[in-house]
Chain A
Amino acid sequence: MTRPFYGLTIALTAILLLFLGWWNLFAWSVIPIQAQDVWLSLTHFDSQSISHRIVQDLRLPRLLTAMLVGACLATAGTIMQGLTRNPLAAPSVLGINAGAALGMALVSTLPVLYGASSTSLAAMIGGGVAWLLVMLLGSSWRIGGNERGRLVLAGVAISALCAALTKAVVIMEEDQAAGVLTWLAGSLADARWQTWQHYWPFALAGLFGALLLTPSLNLLQLGEEHARNLGVNLLRSKLFGSFLVLLLVGTTISAVGSIGFIGLIVPHMARLLVGQDFRIFLPVAMLLGATLVTLADTLSRAISYPMETPAGAILALIGAPFFIYLVRKRTL
């Protein structure tokens, strides 16, 4: 493929993202919002108009968060697939989502741990422990020990374990349960400016870091031996990559809850569009992830209008068949 083609893909995705974002701001609102109100609320804000207030206070932070969530999860999935050279790797498949959720559940329900750390730090630690366990059990840290199926099954088992523990913790501390259950489902409905403010600095830092990692990810695809010969510091790349994944996933989950399968699907879509070079397909993956989550968030208001369906539930519905398709296609 030629360079202009990459540019075209990126430009088209960006245009699609902008269009969907604009649509997201007014579509399926319980209180009707006109399309032109969206524009007016941005240029000539009128604090008396309810629709302006909704766009400014509710829709805009929600849209921005959705975009950032998509970019972060897609990036995390890309890094994980690059590090493990496993097409099935993704935060939700390999137990990071469930681990992060457990971490948050522990911090927000157990009195002993109250205020011990912020929820996003707890999510990072929980996700990190789960990821470490999966990698150890799936024998992926060992050189050459790269058994794809085993890694995935280890992830599934760790997920099941974390999910059971989370449920147990939530049920035992009933007064906190409602709040915890909401973000377990992974919904953007509660994203406000406050969420956004806590979220964007870490998320952007993570995304920037991921871009720096792309050259070594490219070399890693040749196999660990070759990558080492070509001067990649394997341990440092893996540690840095894992840290980025945890940062991205941990902050995302603490902001909007556990949203699955974006990290699995989007890297494959991006690779299909622009090929194997991480330096190019990572940005495309970020844009695609943002587009997909924005779309899912719009649908989350549409599906059982006027009720909200968590975007995470919609994405899981798309993601699981895709996962099955991948398992079928690859030889494990």
Chain B
Amino acid sequence: MTAQRFFPIAVITLLLLALANLMFGAVSLSVEEVWSGLYASSENHFTIYEYRLPRIFLAILVGAGLALSGALVQGVIRNPLASPDVLGVSHGAGLAAVCYMTFFSGASTRWLPEVALTGGILAALVLWYLCGARSSAIKLAITGVALAALWASCIDFLMLTKPLEINNALLWLTGSLWGRGWTQLQALLPWFALIPLALGLSKYLNLLDLGDDSAISLGARPPYLRLLALAIAVALTAACVSICGPIGFLGLVAPHLTRKLVGGRHQPLLPATMLTGACLLLAADLAARTLDPPIELPAGILTAIIGAPYFLWLLLRMK
């Protein structure tokens, strides 16, 4: 499939999924009911406007953000197993958020994205310190998952020892879109100003694919480029994690899948990855809400059920 054909198909899929997300759930609505629900007079206004609509926007943003960070990390580290969650950045950000909420109970959730960002950066620095720049793909991935396990066990530990705050923290960490609304959307939106910056790196990310020596000779400066791209990836991941908690494997799967479809050039790849990520998370959230209504599964569980086998397949294919 070429990029020219990918984009229309992906956009249509995205719109259809968004519509399906508006229609199905604990209560199923028809297309007309959805349409009239957008107006305040309708009885479905609350469900549609306050509940499903912001959640769709969030799913699109978070899916796009996580997928883009995955593509940036994979582009920079040239490691097919890399993604923010495999490298422990997501859980680092999550740990910082939980610490903030347990130790400063009553603190405003307004600063949650910044706190999560600090955690994500620290987690990335720890990984960098442990592995250095020239680790093999597998070693980097193992250290990353080990760190992720460490942060996760710290989170578990905090949640088990501070059970009073547990509900608040747990709500943020299930990797779910449940109960998120316009407020969270507002908190998340400023971070997406980073996207144009990320897209602007496409040309130079292409050169990194040729190896550092060629990239330098073609006018790129790999160390700065790496730092900038990783910083953007960490910031986007942290912002998403601070809203939804770690949603596993999305940042790994979406870029891979997209690279298969549109090729490895970053100019089409980065925007296409964002579309794929948005579609995947919308689909996961739709399934999470409709598998067994009225019970909702966290969308992160569904992405893990799809993503983990995909990771295994990648592992098998690696030489």
A residues with a Cβ closer than 8 A to B are 88, 137, 149-150, 152-154, 156-158, 160-161, 163-165, 167-168, 171-172, 174, 185, 303-304, 307, 309-310, 313-314, 316-317, 319-321, 323-324, 327-328, 332
Q: Is A149 in contact with B305, judged by CB distance below 8 angstroms?
A: no
Interface positions of B from 128 to 175, Cβ below 8 Å from A? 130, 136, 138-139, 141-143, 145-147, 149-150, 153-154, 156-157, 160-163
Chain B nearest CB: distance from A112 CB in Å? 15
Chain A nearest CB: distance from B108 CB in Å? 26
Report if A328-B157 is in contact (Cβ < 8 Å); known contacts: A150-B138, A154-B315, A320-B150. Answer: no
Q: B96-137, CB under 8 A of A: which get 1 and which 0?
A: 000000000000000000000000000000000010000010
14 contacts between A and B (CB under 8 A): A149-B136, A154-B312, A160-B304, A161-B308, A163-B304, A164-B248, A164-B302, A168-B302, A168-B305, A172-B297, A313-B156, A317-B157, A324-B146, A327-B143
Report if A171-B142 is in contact (Cβ < 8 Å); known contacts: A160-B248, A164-B308, A328-B130. Answer: no
B1 in the interface, Cβ–Cβ < 8 Å? no
Q: Of A150, A313, A321, which one neighbours B160 at CB under 8 angstroms?
A: A313
Report if A164-B139 is in contact (Cβ < 8 Å); known contacts: A158-B312, A304-B161. Answer: no
Known contacts A137-B316, A154-B312, A317-B154; 13 further A-B pairs (Cβ under 8 A): A88-B142, A149-B139, A153-B145, A153-B315, A158-B308, A161-B305, A164-B301, A168-B305, A172-B297, A185-B156, A320-B149, A323-B146, A327-B139
Separation of A153 and B137 alpha carbons in the complex (Å)? 11
Q: What residues on B are CB-neighbors of A165 within 8 Å?
A: 301, 305
Interface positions of B from 280 to 319, Cβ below 8 Å from A? 291-292, 295, 297-298, 300-302, 304-305, 307-309, 311-312, 315-316, 318
Q: What residues on B are CB-neighbors of A324 within 8 Å?
A: 130, 143, 146-147, 150
Separation of A154 and B315 alpha carbons in the complex (Å)? 7
Q: Is B153 in contact with A320, judged by CB distance below 8 angstroms?
A: yes
Q: Is A314 in contact with B297, judged by CB distance below 8 angstroms?
A: no
Chain B nearest CB: distance from A215 CB in Å? 32
B residues with a Cβ closer than 8 A to A are 81, 130, 136, 138-139, 141-143, 145-147, 149-150, 153-154, 156-157, 160-163, 248-249, 291-292, 295, 297-298, 300-302, 304-305, 307-309, 311-312, 315-316, 318
Q: 10 closest A-B pairs (Cβ-Cβ)?
A: A149-B138, A320-B150, A164-B304, A316-B153, A161-B308, A304-B161, A164-B301, A157-B311, A324-B146, A160-B308
Q: Of A152, A167, A307, A313, which one neighbours B298 at CB under 8 angstroms?
A: A167
Separation of A158 and B142 alpha carbons in the complex (Å)? 14
Q: Is B136 in contact with A332, judged by CB distance below 8 angstroms?
A: yes
> Which A residue's beta carbon lies closest to that of B159?
A313
Report if A137-B160 is in contact (Cβ < 8 Å); known contacts: A167-B298, A327-B143, A332-B136. Answer: no
Separation of A156 and B252 alpha carbons in the complex (Å)? 15
Q: Is B295 in contact with A161, judged by CB distance below 8 angstroms?
A: no
Q: Is B316 in contact with A171, judged by CB distance below 8 angstroms?
A: no
Q: What residues on B are CB-neighbors of A319 within 8 Å?
A: 153
Q: Is A161 in contact with B304, judged by CB distance below 8 angstroms?
A: yes
Separation of A88 and B141 alpha carbons in the complex (Å)? 14
Separation of A327 and B304 alpha carbons in the complex (Å)? 24
Report if A303-B301 is in contact (Cβ < 8 Å); known contacts: A317-B153, A327-B146. Answer: no
Separation of A324 and B150 alpha carbons in the complex (Å)? 9
Chain A nearest CB: distance from B98 CB in Å? 14
Separation of A165 and B298 alpha carbons in the complex (Å)? 11
Separation of A97 and B245 alpha carbons in the complex (Å)? 24
> Which A residue's beta carbon lies closest to that of B137?
A149
> Which A residue's beta carbon lies closest to that of B138?
A149
Report if A157-B295 is in contact (Cβ < 8 Å); known contacts: A307-B161, A323-B149. Answer: no
Q: Is A174 in contact with B138, judged by CB distance below 8 angstroms?
A: no
Q: Is B312 in contact with A168, judged by CB distance below 8 angstroms?
A: no
Q: Is B160 in contact with A185, judged by CB distance below 8 angstroms?
A: yes
> Which B residue's beta carbon lies closest to that of A160?
B308
> Which A residue's beta carbon lies closest to that of B316?
A137
Q: What residues on B are CB-neighbors of A167 within 8 Å?
A: 297-298, 301
Separation of A88 and B300 alpha carbons in the complex (Å)? 27
Separation of A125 and B318 alpha carbons in the complex (Å)? 29
Q: What residues on B are CB-neighbors of A152 within 8 Å?
A: 142
Q: What residues on B are CB-neighbors of A163 within 8 Å?
A: 304
Q: What residues on A are CB-neighbors of B312 within 8 Å?
A: 137, 154, 157-158
Separation of A317 and B154 alpha carbons in the complex (Å)? 6
Q: Of A88, A316, A321, which one neighbours B156 at CB under 8 angstroms?
A: A316
> Which B residue's beta carbon lies closest to that of A315?
B153
Separation of A148 and B33 alpha carbons in the complex (Å)? 56
Separation of A321 and B148 alpha carbons in the complex (Å)? 11
